Every structure is written in structure tokens, then in C-alpha cells.
């Protein structure tokens, strides 16, 4: 009904292009407008002023001869003050933008290695945006923002990169494990050395206590039994220890060696034999 009466409504964030007998006449802003069709006036089309997004997938090669697929997202919009250029000068805006994106990416990425292309995504996006802004401004479009959202190497390349990374981590883990084992062996050796040192101190103190006890016993016996010398007392102590030792050896079923020499025909020299046996035992003891 509105068109029949020559009235037209233009939506918000949209402009309409009005022509008279096929020739451009005016840009209609959002609102209600009079377009008397019987006078040759008509609407040639509408132009959206909203921000639009175009995703472009571009396959190219890096400096180290690795094929990658670069995914770029271009956000753009038509300018109201240049609506005539945006409507009449381009047939397909999206294909035009895509062509510029292909050109810039295939001129920029081949100068970078694979690792550098991942690290310098912002530089690639900046180069694409600058080139698009310079080219599309003449056609009434503004480039709002350009993003490099993904760089996808070939599947075989990604698999090889993952294997290299895994091998490096395995090598690091093996090195850390070897270092841990080294520290463990060192600590175990230090603990063993400390244990032996403390055991030696204990043996030395034990022997010192035995010597002190024997000395006190000899002195006490000499004082209480007149006419005995220290040598007589020492011989008696050695003979007593000798028989105690034989008793312990006989009582133990697991004993298989005796360090003290013994002979029935030399009982009269038993003290010297006991003394020699004790010396042999001290030498053999670890």
C-alpha cells in the first residue's frame, strides 16, 4: 500500500539509493520517504551500515618451505558519507576484500619461517589491514579491524612438530631422573660413611670402657690381696676371659671359627696364649 502511494520506510543503520529513470538522485536516510514511482523515481537498492565480518582462508608457503593455511577475519563497514561509491563502484565487495587479503598474506608469510609466522601474527594482520584500508577507502568502505585467528600447518608437519616436542621433553625427563638418582647415590654414600664413622666411635668408646674397667679391677685386686703384682692379676683376668670365651663359643650352634689358639700341653702358658689370641681377634675384626 505504501509503495502504491509512493511512500517508503528505510530501516535504522541502512540507507537507500534513489534513482530517477535509472540515474542516481539521492541517498535516503533511515525514516519515511516519498518515492513517486509515477514520476520515474525508484529505489535502486539498500546499503547496510552495520559492521560485517568476512573470514578468509588462504593457503601459502613459509620461508622454510612449509605449507600453512592462514585464517584471517576482516571486519568492515560502509561509510554513510560515501554510500554512493560503496553502492555503485563495487559489484562484489566480499570477493574484492578476499582478493586483497590473499595478495597481502602470500606476499608477507613467505618472508617468515614457520615459528616466526606464529610469533608475528600481529604483524601479518597489521600488513593486511593497512593494505585493505588503503584500497577499500576509495570505494566507500572502512576496515574496522583485521585479525589472524589461526595458522594451520599441514597435518604431517604438525605431527612432526609434536614428536620433536615430545622427544625433547623425554630427554629432559631422563636427564632429571639421572640427576635424581645421582643425588640419591651421593646421599646414600654420605649416610653410609656417617654410619660407619659413628660405629667406629662406638667401638672405640666400648674398648676404652673395657680398658678402664680392667685397670680399675687390677688396681682393686692388688690393693685387697697383698703380695700380688699387676701382672699376676692381669694373667688371672685373661684366663677368666679365655674360659668365658670358650663357653660362649660352645653354647652357640652357629659358631664355625675360633681365633684363640688352644692346646692341652701348654696349659702352663695359657696367659700368653690368651694374650696372643686377643691380639689375633682384634686384627681379624672388621
Are both 105 and 183 inside the same structural domain?
no
* Average pLDDT over the chain, rounded to an integer: 80
Q: What is the mean pLDDT of residues 160-172?
A: 79
Give the pLDDT confidence of 204-227 residue by residue, as tens digits: 888 788 777 767 776 776 677 666
Q: Are residues 62 and 104 in the same domain?
A: yes
All residues at 6 or more sequence positions from 129 whose CB lies less than 8 Å from its CB, including other chains:
143, 145, 146
Same domain as 147, residue 68: yes
141 in the same domain as 103: yes
pTM: 0.54
Per-residue pLDDT at 119? 86
Residue 269 has a pLDDT of: 61
Domain of 13 in residue numbering reads as 7-48
At residue 3, the pLDDT reads 54
pLDDT grade for 273, boundaries at 50, 70 and 90: low
Together in a domain, 182 and 123: no
- Residue 98: per-residue pLDDT: 92
Question: Do 235 and 161 belong to one domain?
Answer: yes
Residue 184 lies in a domain: yes
Is 281 contained in some domain? Answer: no
Q: Is residue 63 part of a domain?
A: yes
Structural domain contains residue 261 = no
Counted domains in the chain: 3
Res 94 pLDDT > 60: yes
Same domain? 139 vs 216: no
Let me know whether 163 and 245 are in one domain: yes
Is residue 128 located within the same domain as residue 205? no
Q: Per residue in 111-133, pLDDT tens?
A: 988 888 888 889 999 999 998 99
Same domain, 104 and 24: no
User: How confident is the model at residue 180, as a pLDDT?
Assistant: 86
- Tell me: pLDDT of 53 over 60: yes
Whether the predicted pLDDT of 264 surpasses 90 = no
Supply the pLDDT for residue 266: 46
On whether both 159 and 134 belong to a single domain, the answer is no
Q: Based on the domain organization, do 96 and 131 belong to the same domain? A: yes
CATH number of the domain residue 83 falls in:
3.30.479.30
Amino acid at each position: 500500500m505504501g509503495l502504491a502511494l509512493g511512500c517508503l520506510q528505510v530501516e535504522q543503520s541502512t540507507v537507500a539509493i534513489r534513482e530517477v529513470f535509472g540515474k542516481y538522485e539521492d541517498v535516503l536516510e533511515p525514516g519515511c520517504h516519498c518515492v513517486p514511482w509515477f514520476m520515474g523515481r525508484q529505489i535502486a537498492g539498500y546499503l547496510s551500515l552495520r559492521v560485517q565480518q568476512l573470514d578468509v582462508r588462504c593457503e601459502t608457503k613459509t620461508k622454510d618451505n612449509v605449507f600453512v593455511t592462514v585464517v584471517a577475519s576482516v571486519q568492515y563497514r560502509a561509510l554513510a558519507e560515501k554510500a554512493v561509491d560503496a553502492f555503485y563502484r563495487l559489484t562484489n565487495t566480499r570477493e574484492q576484500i578476499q582478493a586483497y587479503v590473499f595478495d597481502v598474506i602470500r606476499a608477507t608469510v613467505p618472508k617468515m619461517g614457520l615459528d616466526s609466522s606464529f610469533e608475528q601474527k600481529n604483524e601479518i594482520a597489521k600488513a593486511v589491514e593497512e593494505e585493505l584500508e588503503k584500497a577499500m577507502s576509495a570505494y566507500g568502505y572502512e576496515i574496522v579491524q583485521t585479525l589472524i585467528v589461526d595458522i594451520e600447518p599441514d597435518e604431517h608437519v604438525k605431527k612432526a612438530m609434536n614428536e620433536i616436542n615430545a622427544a625433547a621433553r623425554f630427554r629432559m625427563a631422563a636427564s632429571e631422573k639421572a640427576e635424581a638418582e645421582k643425588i640419591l647415590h651421593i646421599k646414600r654414600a654420605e649416610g653410609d660413611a656417617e654410619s660407619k664413622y659413628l660405629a667406629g666411635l662406638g667401638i672405640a668408646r666400648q674398648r676404652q670402657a673395657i680398658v678402664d674397667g680392667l685397670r680399675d679391677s687390677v688396681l682393686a685386686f692388688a690393693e685387697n690381696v697383698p703380695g700380688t703384682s699387676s701382672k699376676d692379676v692381669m694373667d688371672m683376668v685373661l684366663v677368666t676371659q679365655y674360659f668365658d670365651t670358650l663357653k660362649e663359643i660352645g653354647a652357640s650352634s652357629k659358631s664355625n671359627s675360633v681365633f684363640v689358639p688352644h692346646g692341652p700341653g701348654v696349659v702352663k702358658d695359657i696367659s700368653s696364649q690368651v694374650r696372643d689370641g686377643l691380639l689375633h681377634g682384634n686384627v681379624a675384626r672388621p
